């Protein structure tokens, strides 16, 4: 098990981030000066109404989208304008992603889906299958290793997606409404898995509009009118 290392280190830092989209003749100022500081090992929820810019913010943190103005530091390094190759390398080194709709590859088994990121790291077939199996086992998914995504329930699919996100041992996992497609009990089960991987030292940012889900994190941020309005440290 990983230890909670660099506990006090600031792993994510945003200052005055602005992001505008153009839709036809309209310009939408989605982010209007977002400040955010996240320490390594924290588990944070981001809440906000639909359209408030939560996914935009997560995509910026995930180096999937750029921003117009401001500063972004990831693990002590400034993230400015960069090539897609550089962004891909940084994502590969630091980040894991979880989506509401799982984004599993339908014609690959659970184990193959989990092993895929290691293929891109040129890990041998034997090693990547072995590691994928270990991750599936930890999440109680070993019996489903040879099943295809359409043979799995929503909660099981999300466990496979979580295993795939953490197999590269990322610094930060970004989850965009990971329980949005799941029923209540299944959502709580998935959050317990998040807690488990957070305890192993992975920093977690979870977007949700469910209070009960947000309450399971260390800190809740509210995005409204393009800025982070409130940040509440739980007692
Ligand atoms: P949330 O995730 O909080 O629901 P989003 O970040 O998805 O919000 O979207 C915020 C706003 O930005 C919405 O008004 C949306 O229509 C707009 N938007 C998001 N992505 C794009 C895009 N690629 N092009 C144009 N407008 C976008
Ligand atoms: Mg969204």
pLDDT recorded at residue 8:
61
Which residues make beta-bridge pairs with 205?
44, 174
For residues 88 and 60, the answer to whether their CB atoms sit within 8 Å is no
pLDDT recorded at residue 4:
43
Report how far residue 135's alpha carbon sits from residue 41's, in angstroms, rounded to the nearest whole number: 20
Shortest-distance ligand to the CA of residue 51? 1
pLDDT recorded at residue 234:
58
**CB of 225 sitting under 6 A from ligand 1:** no
Domain ranges of the chain: 42-66+83-233
Q: Whose CA is nearest to atom 1 of ligand 1?
A: 51
Report how far residue 183's alpha carbon sits from residue 95's, in angstroms, rounded to the nearest whole number: 27
Shortest-distance ligand to the CA of residue 56? 1
Report how far residue 223's alpha carbon sits from residue 35's, in angstroms, rounded to the nearest whole number: 11
pLDDT in tens, the chain (235 residues): 344 444 468 999 999 999 999 999 999 999 999 999 999 999 999 999 999 999 999 999 999 999 999 999 999 999 988 899 999 999 988 999 999 999 999 999 999 999 999 998 899 999 999 999 999 999 999 999 999 999 999 999 999 999 999 999 999 999 999 999 999 999 999 999 999 999 999 999 999 999 999 999 999 999 999 999 876 665 4
Q: Whose CA is nearest to atom 19 of ligand 1?
A: 56
Shortest-distance ligand to the CA of residue 52? 1
Q: Whose CA is nearest to atom 26 of ligand 1?
A: 21
pTM (2 d.p.)? 0.93
**Best CATH choice for the domain 42-66+83-233 from the list 1.10.287.3510, 3.40.50.2300, 3.40.50.300, 3.40.710.10:** 3.40.50.300
Q: Whose CA is nearest to atom 7 of ligand 1?
A: 55
DSSP classification of residue 87? H
Report how far residue 162's alpha carbon sits from residue 123's, in angstroms, rounded to the nearest whole number: 19
Which residues make beta-bridge pairs with 30?
none
CA of residue 67 to ligand 1 center, whole Å: 13
Give the CA angle between residues 10, 177, 93 to the nearest 5°. 45
**CB of 26 sitting under 6 A from ligand 1:** no
């Amino acid at each position: 098990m990983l230890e909670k290392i660099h506990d006090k280190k600031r792993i994510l830092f945003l200052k005055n981030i602005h992001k505008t989209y153009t839709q036809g003749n309209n310009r939408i100022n989605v982010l209007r000066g977002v400040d955010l500081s996240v320490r390594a090992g924290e588990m944070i929820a981001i809440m906000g109404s639909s359209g408030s810019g939560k996914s935009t913010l997560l995509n910026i943190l995930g180096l999937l989208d750029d921003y117009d103005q401001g500063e972004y530091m990831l693990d002590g390094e400034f993230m400015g304008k960069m090539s897609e190759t550089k962004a891909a390398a940084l994502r590969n080194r630091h980040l894991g992603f979880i989506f509401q709709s799982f984004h599993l590859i339908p014609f690959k088994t659970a184990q193959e889906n989990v092993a895929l990121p290691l293929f891109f790291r040129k890990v041998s077939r034997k090693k990547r299958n072995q590691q994928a199996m270990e991750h599936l086992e930890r999440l109680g998914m070993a019996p489903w290793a040879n099943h295809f995504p359409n043979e799995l329930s929503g909660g099981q699919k999300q466990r496979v997606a979580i295993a795939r996100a953490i197999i590269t041992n990322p610094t930060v996992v970004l989850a965009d409404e990971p329980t949005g497609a799941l029923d209540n009990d299944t959502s709580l089960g998935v959050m317990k898995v998040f807690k488990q991987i957070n305890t192993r030292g992975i920093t977690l940012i979870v977007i949700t509009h469910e209070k009960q889900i947000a309450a399971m994190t260390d800190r809740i941020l509210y995005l409204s009118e393009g800025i982070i309005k409130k940040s509440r440290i739980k007692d």
